[in-house]
Amino acid sequence: MKFEHLVGAVVHDLKNQLQALLDYEQEALARIPKRYHTHLDPILQRTNRLKNDTMQMVTLFRLEQKSHFPMDDAWPRDTAADAIEATSLQYPGIRFSNDIGEDCQGFYNETLIHLALITLITNSAQAGATHIRLTADDSNGLTLCVDDNGHGFDNAVLAGEKDTTKQEGSGLGLFFVELIASHHKQGEEHGSIHIANRKEGGASVSIRLP
Amino acid sequence: MINLELALKDKRILVVDDLVEARSALKKMITILGATQIDTATDGREAMEFIMEREYDIVLSDYNLGKGKDGQQILEEARYCNRLRATALFILVTGENAVEMVMGALEYEPDNYITKPFTLNMLRERLTRILSTKLELLQVDTAIDLGETDRAITLATAVLDKNPKLLIPVTRILGKLYIRQKRYNEAIKVYSELLNKRSVSWARLGQAICMHYLGDSRSALALLKQTLIAHPMYVQCYDWAATIMLSLGDSKGAQKQLEKAVEISPKAVLRQMELGKLAYSNEDYPVAEMAFEQAIRLGRHSCYKHSGNYLQFAHTIRHELKPGEQSREQKMRVEKAFRAIDELRQDYAGQDNIMFETSIIEGKTHTTLNDEDKARASARRAEEILQRMTNPTDEQQLQMTEAYIDTGQHVKAKQLIRKLQQQGMGSNELSQLQALEDNLNKVVIRDHTAALNARGVGHYEKSEFTEAIAAFDEAASYEEAGVSVLLNAIQAKISLIENTQIDVGQLKDCYRYFQRIGKIGSNDDRYERYERLKGTFMRLKRAAGL
């Protein structure tokens, strides 16, 4: 067996184990009195974080292996709500606005876009955001937008000279989102991402799918 | 959008999952969401029992159900048995890895799927979307359930005009309906319109199928191959590639495609049956054996259970048996064949057609194993059944004829052949009959020459050379006479000359027999004998001054 396949299998199992752990923790939380929750919450948050990270790794691995992620009808409002649900546990201080219309429709792989949104939300949270707003427009392809009120991108990142604003960041986050976007194709057209700083302060990342 | 709680309240729902935690979690979730009438099943068998017994509005099944059937097969079986209305929903719950397999199905596709893992909120959103779409299509589905295809097409087109966001689900329905009505050009058109906007593989498969039906099988095949490059796990493409290759006369290539499909998705009974039949006709018996064995095993407790699988399995094994071999494989094969035959006798007793063929294949197997008594007993059983049939088919009578020949009942064989000749039959059956008659004649002559030869040998051993020569000559008068008979005749003639006097007539006979034998290789068992007789013959010829 090739080393990379071994790694792939291990990470895959790790993801499943973490999902199970998360389920047990939530079950436990539901059974114990509220006043003890503060003791369990940090564990739940860490587990959630680890699960999201391993999901990212599994997906990166499969994207790397040129796996096929089929696309289908999908509803950005639901996908955004799922991403918010998956991250809000970790960032109870952040206020989320899901301003995507109920009828807004997309054609994408829901698992991938879900992960892309989680990655962007995590980035925003790490940039000190306290408010994250998600919007979408399906008039021409689909554009999904994540706006925050954090410290925004460095000019070097905006100019494409650097990959990350974070002191110790790897730039993997945006790279991952870009990979996911470009996996979505229609004819010759690939998806792409666009980053900017908002006039009012904070970052704005949009994913454009053909 | 619909109110999920209200929508679920009066729906009868079946939840299928092999894992107890997952099953009860899902049941709990849909109860919270408003469902009130829920049944749960742990595997495909139990699910099918429920589905056969009750009419469900929604089936929520996990894709992977452990050892037995998977969710896709429950769906196929339920549709195959007409136990799922078009207005009912079948939703597969699946891991991300299997989504591709689930979505690709064109003929037996689930209404929708839910990817694991999901939270209560995710399930709520997903079900709301699925039920809302289904509601928009309610009239279309109702028309389909009533068998009003034309009306369903009109309604579906109207739904799409009103709500372009339903392009994907409506195209799925429209394409299928057009194909059902053999309106292939229209089907291709709706698929193309979808593909211009959305790259979905099943629409490409649909186009390929239509192209094939319109007569352009090569383009269809090219399109399938192209789709398979992007989608190597798209199992239905292999199925269709096999069908199309077969129509182009490439049965070996078709078998290869089906083998790939079976490798990806080994649990589908119908596919295993197809592979078995194809491999059998390609005389690839090991593959056929495996496929029929799987078809039997997978179909045993389902509506796909079919006597043909058992019969063909036994036929396949018969071809693989080697007379006189004592290997373990052979023993196991024989056991399997007779087990299939036993199962046929148990499960299809009283059905003359099936019982007849069961006895025929049983007899053939015994014949191959040189078990003459048992072969005759089986032939007798077949004979009894045939006699009480009011209208036996030509094929059955041909099979009986063959059984008579195999078991040395030449008179009966001849009688049946005569009867069939008088009745008259189709050209295909007639040529089979001709082949049987030729075979019978050959067998009869072989038996006759064998008897003459034996008589000759008897005389020869008592040094009654003239009588021996008469018998051998008669045996040799048949062109089917073998080398041994001819050598016996030569030896008898030489012995007569050596014991009496030169006889030019006999020597000329010997010369003719040697001509008939032709060359014999030095590896042949009879080589030495042939050389010895040839030497003596040459000496006698010289002595005769010839």
pLDDT of amino acid B145: 92
- Tell me which of A56, A78, A100 to substitute to probe the interface with B (most B C-beta atoms closer than 10 Å): A78
Q: Find out whether B56 and B13 touch, Cβ atoms under 8 Å.
A: yes
pLDDT of amino acid A168: 53
Q: Provide the token pair at B160.
A: 């799409």
Give bridge partners of residue A194 from the DSSP assignment: A206
pLDDT of amino acid B178: 96
Quick one: three-class SS letters along A172-190? HHHHHHHHHHHHCEECCEE
Interval B347-364 mean pLDDT: 92
Residues of A in contact with B233 (CB under 8 A): 68
- Residue A66: closest C-alpha in chain B: B230
Nearest-angstrom CA–CA distance, A206 and A195: 6
Q: Find out whether B141 and B151 touch, Cβ atoms under 8 Å.
A: no
Interval B355-360 mean pLDDT: 94
Flag whether pLDDT at B253 surpasses 90: yes
Flag whether pLDDT at B535 surpasses 60: yes
Rounded to a whole number, what is the distance in Å from the CA of A93 to chain B's nearest CA? 21
- B50-54, B107-111, B502-506 — which is least confidently predicted? B107-111
Q: Provide the token pair at B13.
A: 């729902």
pLDDT of amino acid B325: 81
Residues of A in contact with B104 (CB under 8 A): 70
The DSSP call for residue B351 is -
Flag whether pLDDT at B435 surpasses 90: no
- Residue A15: closest C-alpha in chain B: B117
pLDDT digits (tens, 9 = 90+) for B156-172: 999 999 999 999 999 99
Size of interface A-B (CB pairs under 8 A): 50
- Residue A12: closest C-alpha in chain B: B97
pLDDT of amino acid A42: 86
Flag whether pLDDT at B97 surpasses 80: no
Flag whether pLDDT at A152 surpasses 80: yes
- Inspect the interface and report whether the beta carbons of A82 and B122 lie closer than 8 Å: yes
How far is CA B187 from its chain centroid?
31
Q: How confident is the model at residue B292 (pLDDT cuts 50, 70, 90)?
A: very high
pLDDT of amino acid A58: 86
Number of other residues whose CB lies within 10 A of the CB of residue B58: 24
Q: Which amino acid is at A133?
A: R
Burial class (CB in 10 A: 0-12, 13-18, 19+), B197: middle
Interval B318-329 mean pLDDT: 86
- Inspect the interface and report whether the beta carbons of A72 and B200 lie closer than 8 Å: yes
Flag whether pLDDT at B20 surpasses 60: yes
pLDDT of amino acid B179: 94
Query: Which candidate from B100, B125, B165 shows the least CB-CB separation from A81?
Result: B125
Rounded to a whole number, what is the distance in Å from the CA of B174 to chain A's nearest CA? 17
Alpha-carbon dihedral B219, B220, B221, B224, rounded to 10 degrees: 120
- Inspect the interface and report whether the beta carbons of A68 and B231 lie closer than 8 Å: yes
Rounded to a whole number, what is the distance in Å from the CA of B119 to chain A's nearest CA? 8
Q: Find out whether A120 and A96 touch, Cβ atoms under 8 Å.
A: no
**For strand A203-209 and strand A142-148, is the pairing parallel, antiparallel, or unpaired?**
antiparallel
Identify the residue with better confidence: B101 or B90.
B90
- Inspect the interface and report whether the beta carbons of B125 and A75 lie closer than 8 Å: yes
Closest listed residue to residue A11, CA positions, set A65, A43, A67, A50: A50
Q: What percent of chain A has pLDDT over 90?
A: 41
Highest mean pLDDT among A91-100, B61-70, B77-86: A91-100
pLDDT of amino acid A166: 62
Rounded to a whole number, what is the distance in Å from the CA of B118 to chain A's nearest CA? 9
**For strand B12-16 and strand B37-41, is the pairing parallel, antiparallel, or unpaired?**
parallel
pLDDT of amino acid B409: 87
- Tell me which of A15, A18, A72 to substitute to probe the interface with B (most B C-beta atoms closer than 10 Å): A72
Q: Find out whether A105 and A74 touch, Cβ atoms under 8 Å.
A: yes
Tokens 């063929």, residue?
A: B357
Helix H or strand E segment including B546:
none
- Residue B102: closest C-alpha in chain A: A70
Query: Which candidate from A78, A85, A111 shows the least CB-CB separation from B96?
Result: A111
Query: Which candidate from B117, B168, B201 shows the least CB-CB separation from A73?
Result: B168
Flag whether pLDDT at A134 surpasses 90: yes
Q: How confident is the model at residue A169 (pLDDT cuts 50, 70, 90)?
A: low
Q: How confident is the model at residue A164 (pLDDT cuts 50, 70, 90)?
A: low
- Name the 3-class secondary structure at A154: coil
Flag whether pLDDT at A24 surpasses 90: no
Residues of B in contact with A101 (CB under 8 A): none
With vertex at residue B89, the alpha carbon angle to CA B88 and CA B95, rounded to the nearest 5 degrees, is: 160
Rounded to a whole number, what is the distance in Å from the CA of B339 to chain A's nearest CA? 40
- Inspect the interface and report whether the beta carbons of B199 and A186 lie closer than 8 Å: yes
Mean pLDDT of all residues in chain B? 90
Identify the residue with better confidence: B60 or B504.
B60
pLDDT of amino acid B201: 87
Residues of B in contact with A108 (CB under 8 A): none
Query: Which candidate from B100, B129, B198 shows the least CB-CB separation from A75?
Result: B129
| Torsional class of B478: left (φ above 0), alpha (ψ -120 to 50), beta (otherwise) | beta
- Inspect the interface and report whether the beta carbons of A71 and B1 lie closer than 8 Å: no
Flag whether pLDDT at A136 surpasses 90: yes
Nearest-angstrom CA–CA distance, B413 and B419: 10
Rounded to a whole number, what is the distance in Å from the CA of A33 to chain B's nearest CA? 21
In angstroms, the first-to-last Cα distance of chain B is 111
- Inspect the interface and report whether the beta carbons of A78 and B169 lie closer than 8 Å: no
Nearest-angstrom CA–CA distance, B289 and B320: 9
Q: How confident is the model at residue B327 (pLDDT cuts 50, 70, 90)?
A: confident
Q: Provide the token pair at B172.
A: 């799925």
pLDDT of amino acid B390: 87
- Inspect the interface and report whether the beta carbons of B200 and A81 lie closer than 8 Å: no
Q: Which amino acid is at B110?
A: P
Query: Which candidate from A68, A102, A111 shows the least CB-CB separation from B1?
Result: A102
Residues of A with CB under 8 A from a CB of B: 19, 68, 70-73, 75, 78, 81-82, 85, 102-103, 105, 107, 110-111, 185-187
Interval B216-237 mean pLDDT: 89
Q: What percent of chain B has pLDDT over 70?
A: 100
Flag whether pLDDT at B254 surpasses 80: yes
Q: What percent of chain B has pLDDT over 90?
A: 60
- A67-71, A175-179, B200-204, B350-354 — which is least confidently predicted? A67-71
Rounded to a whole number, what is the distance in Å from the CA of A81 to chain B's nearest CA? 8
Rounded to a whole number, what is the distance in Å from the CA of A70 to chain B's nearest CA? 6
Interval B374-393 mean pLDDT: 91
pLDDT of amino acid A170: 53
Flag whether pLDDT at B47 surpasses 90: yes
Highest mean pLDDT among A32-36, A38-42, B60-64: B60-64
pLDDT digits (tens, 9 = 90+) for B450-476: 889 999 999 999 999 999 999 999 999
Tokens 């454009």, residue?
A: A208
- Inspect the interface and report whether the beta carbons of B129 and A78 lie closer than 8 Å: yes
Nearest-angstrom CA–CA distance, A119 and A122: 5
Give bridge partners of residue A108 from the DSSP assignment: A72
- Inspect the interface and report whether the beta carbons of A70 and B115 lie closer than 8 Å: no
Query: Which candidate from B117, B121, B165 shows the least CB-CB separation from A105?
Result: B165
Interval A30-46 mean pLDDT: 86
pLDDT of amino acid B468: 93
Identify the residue with better confidence: B98 or B262.
B262
Interval B17-31 mean pLDDT: 92
pLDDT of amino acid A163: 65
- Inspect the interface and report whether the beta carbons of B125 and A186 lie closer than 8 Å: no
- Inspect the interface and report whether the beta carbons of B119 and A82 lie closer than 8 Å: yes
B232: preceding bond cis by omega (within 30 degrees) = no
Interval B281-288 mean pLDDT: 94
Flag whether pLDDT at A160 surpasses 80: no
